[in-house]
Structure 1
Amino acid sequence: MTALHEELKAEQETRESLEQQWKRELELVEKLGALSVPENGAPDAEQIAAVRAELASVQGEQPLVHALVDGGTIGEVISGWTGIPLGKMLRDEIDTVQSLPALLGERVLGQDHALEEIGKRIKISRARMEDPNKPIGVFLLLGPSGVGKTETALALADTLYGGERNVITINMSEYQEAHTVSSLKGSPPGYVGYGEGGVLTEAVRRKPYSVVLLDEVEKAHPDVLELFFQVFDKGVLDDGEGREINFRNTVIILTSNTGTDRIMQWCLNTEQKPTPDDIVEGLRDELNQVFKPAFLGRLTIVPYYPVQDAILERIVGLKLERIRKRFERNHQAVLRYDEALIKAIASRCTEVDSGARNIDNILSKTLMPELAQRVLERMAQDKPIQSLTIDLGSDGDFAYTLA
């Protein structure tokens, strides 16, 4: 009985403490509102800062009264659903942004300079040092095919927004005519397609927290590119129905092969390859012939280097590791391969201008179909798979050993 009385007393003290905290927070929030909209003159910045500091001190990590509905308020609701403390959620997000280049570098190899530049811009935005009425970042990635430009967009979506499903991909080669603008933003009233939404605007309306990938942007009509001026400047775009679509929580990635031949030529000598800034300056005239200077001025231009042999082998290793994990997860069996297989696949990527894309062709058109055939044959025999080893046969083709 004594223990129950002690517990009741403790609960009453907690309740009184929370009531006092709530009253004090409410008082400070009301004071903050009055200071923000004074009857005469301009708001007193020093007083407002002092009240905000006191309010933050009183609230701690579990505020009871919110001055406004922001990311923290929404985070608290999610915290209540998931059981994860709000402070930890926000700290985890900040930790992710601070270590973004390293996290992206686990998937995008050999482009550290590009990942650092992208990470730097996103850090500025996350620290609220950038114009809040613009997208988090707008980047033009230049370089040959297969060097990691698209993979960067996928990695960003996975790291910042929780999965590759949050990538909105627009193939800009499909917008080479001026009239195709309407398909991006939706048809206006009275025209065919009105009410269906635009390919771009509807996707962003449904997924406002996403990476927007504008692939092969140099192939789009100039009138189509002008559509994005409003997005880059104000972070919004009016769709065909007059709705304002918010792009302020998106990262926009544009990819282009402009200047690929010159980049390849400049980087033939890997010991004396130019700096990223040198590449951008060297391509300035060519870029100005393809894009309007006003368009380029709204972008952060990030060049990508051609993939070297050593990097190619590491990429092969990454892709084989994904296959191994998927196989072991789905079949509860061991998949083995050795360094010789990695080198053999990398050596078959002889087309310099295709980069890592040739790896995907080899894996998807040769290794994966052959691997699937062996697995299905074993499944048809109703025999369990305990292990599978992939190596090179005497004829140089892939060989598979199941046990």
Structure 2
Amino acid sequence: MSEISRVALFGKLNSLGYKAIEGATVFCKLRGNPYVELVHWIQQIVNTQDSDLHRILRHYEVNPSRLAADITAALDQLPRGSTSISDLSEQISDLVERGWVYGSLMFGEVQVRTGHLVVGGLKTGRLRNALLQISKEFDKVKVEDLSDHFAQVVSGSPEDNQAPTDGFTAGAEPGEASGAVAPAAMGKQEALKQFTVDLTDQARSGKMDPIVGRDEEIRQVIDILMRRRQNNPILTGEAGVGKTAVVEGFAQRIVAGDVPPSLVDVSLKTLDVGLLQAGASMKGEFENRLRQVIEEVQSTPKPIILFIDEANTLVGAGGAAGSGGAAKLLKPA
């Protein structure tokens, strides 16, 4: 891969392709695979309702059942047992770059569509081999014919009117909104909307079950939060003992007003670590997202308490070995 920064490169993906990268990252973590591989990404695109890829596969009579079985088999061959994701595979970055090259030079597009990824992948020897290793069904796609009749093959695709996630559109000024959240920059309060869930809202709308038998733990949480210093409670224990239930019980107490006056108007949000890390293996992207969350929490007029589930997964995340990563950003916050 060339020395193009990942932030710039992945910013050329349209929202469908970029969301599929995010989904692939979460899917990879759930499976315990160490790297987000090309097959994770393809699986996520195939599982969307419609895309350029779907229309290409139908046009060239690719067997969907065989393709799905091949994808499952390829996923099952990946190593498992990893507790964290190391990086995106080089093949993914390579494919995005080839898609960008072909999409911009051959089709005059400013976005990278999934159809461009197919063309770029099948026209590049090493990537073609990688796709055929996942499924021989990709060999049915006649890439030269696809290149000549691309517009007709993908006509009516939901990707027709999408834009790159970096916000640049044909004839647009730099920074003009594209309708998708840019991967390296969030709008006002966008980070909180995208990466957190408001537990007090859920409690207020009755979406939580009553919490029983956690009064002592909830009181301890409140006691720690009321301190002037060292006021960050940490819930420890084996999986399934009810740590999250304590937090949900606290949210219900806030909504009921059964808390000290200084906590009555607080909003309790939980940080979705999976979404925060999804697609954030680009250099600096994870730190940018977390920093934006922290800044929005600090600047909002309504006090916010941020609950970080599985906080141990953030230690070292986004940073080089020994740098402390996310922990360093959170410490002064």
Which TM-score tier does this pair reach, normalised by the shorter chain?
under 0.3
Q: Which has the larger radius of gyration?
A: 1
TM-score, normalised with respect to structure 1: 0.20
| Structure with greater proportional strand content | 1
